[in-house]
Amino acid sequence: MSLILIKNGHVIDPENNINNQFDILIEKGKIKKIDKNIEPFAGCEIINAENMIVSPSFCDIHVHFRDPGQTYKEDIRTGSIAAVAGGYTTVVCMPNTLPAIDEVSIVRYIIEKGEEVGLCRVLPSAAVTKGRKGKELTEMWLLKDAGAVYFTDDGAPVWDAFIMRKAMEYAGSIGSFVADHCEDLSLSNNGVAHEGEIAAALGLPPLPPEAEDTMVARDCILALRTGMPVHICHISSKVAVETVAWAKALGAKITAEVTPHHLSLTDDEWLDFDCKAKVSPPLREHEDVEAVRWALASGVIDFVATDHAPHAHQEKMLEHQHCPPGMIGLQFALPTVLKLVKKDYFDMKRAIEVLSTEPMKKIGLTPPAIKEGETAELVIFDPFESWEVNEETILSKSKNTPLIGRKLRGKVKYTFYNGKIVYSDKSGV
């Protein structure tokens, strides 16, 4: 339909300083008018957004769509479906594919496949080192020129500090950055659960927080000394948060992300020995969860990234030492952040910033604007509606989450991308 009228929605656009109730008229994919009361036109589709939030759509700079190589877990189409159901219209795929995203042809494949699916903007990151083996830098300039938005060996740390420093300098010199999976493998030592009371009581191989803390400290110091940017993936520990705060205060160009599961779940999830609780870094104790929540509120942590990591059911049924770490997250980020709004960690404006505008700016893109003349790229969500997480409501190909059977509050009703409705909770994609 060429005319869509969104009525009575509470519009929040942090970049354009909008935080009020407005009607929005969309004509042929463009926002034609924003006003307090717009009368409906003949033949106009009306969306009643009363008691709902209308905001720029979301951006996730850390997802695993498993394409190429492991599409039995997820692929670009099913990942895109899960993304728009969660309100996301921009996602960045991680390079731990088979083969790794370390060549121009694979970068182009990801972009072209995303455009072919057409539900959202699918962008690739590229590996820091060839094959993600930590030994030889990739051709960063060529990969960036082909469309890679940043560089990471995610799933594996850049172990060698000399190589990490060179990578930061190289990426920074071409207007990009390195994002690091911070884990000292000699300290993690094949641990599966956070080193604490739960792991000790259940006899699970412990993974000490120092494995994360020491690598975060190394990267912060390298950023401080080189003057180049570094991004800390899925930060989870209290000490790591304090280290990032210290380095930022000294002027280091550091950003950090936090996942929905590290904001909402603790190592208590291991109490029934369910390997759906296995993630990397591990789910931690309550004091760590509190630390990352307040760090997100204060800006020490810059935004939320889901680390959406699909795995097949049979893989997550393996023993804890053999099953792969990771859980899905694209449809759970909004309810997680809204829960923090309800608990007064921050307001709704900050919620939109951490889900939408801040991650967009980090990867050098202009955030979608709710502004007359702009293409409609927005999300309408009900912050109060409850829904149950089950195999029907999860739209990812994989279902690996400990949230199965639980109720969440906050539901995406419509997602607009490139001027079109690409998702509604009534009709799906």
Q: Residue 222: its pLDDT value, please?
A: 98
Say what the alpha-carbon torsion angle 93, 94, 97, 101 is, to the nearest 10 degrees: 90
Q: Residue 1: its pLDDT value, please?
A: 56
CATH fold for domain 3-54+371-424:
Urease, subunit C; domain 1 (2.30.40)
Contacts of 392 (CB under 8 A, 6+ apart): none
Q: Residue 332: its pLDDT value, please?
A: 98
CATH fold for domain 57-362:
TIM Barrel (3.20.20)
The one catalytic residue in 307, 344, 347, 425 is 307
C-alpha 343/C-alpha 332 separation (Å) is: 17
Distance of CA 136 to the CA centre of its chain: 28
Which residue numbers in the chain have pLDDT < 50? none
Q: Which amino acid belongs to residue 173?
A: S
- Closest listed residue to residue 232, CA positions, set 178, 196, 291: 178
Domain boundaries, the chain: 3-54+371-424, 57-362
Active site residue 382: no
At 287, list the tokens: 């004091």
- Measured between its terminal Cα atoms, the distance across the chain in Å is 16
- Say if residues 7 and 51 touch (Cβ distance below 8 Å): no
C-alpha 98/C-alpha 156 separation (Å) is: 14
Residue 175 sits at φ, ψ, to 5 deg, of 80, 25
- Mapping DSSP onto H, E and C, the string for 14-50 reads HHHCEEEEEEEEEECCEEEEEECCCCCCCCCEEEECC
Q: Residue 422: its pLDDT value, please?
A: 98
Does residue 68 have a cis peptide bond before it, meaning omega lies within 30 degrees of 0? yes
Number of neighbouring beta carbons within 10 Å of residue 203: 9
At 188, list the tokens: 């993690």
C-alpha 425/C-alpha 99 separation (Å) is: 35
Contacts of 96 (CB under 8 A, 6+ apart): 64, 132, 153, 154, 155, 156
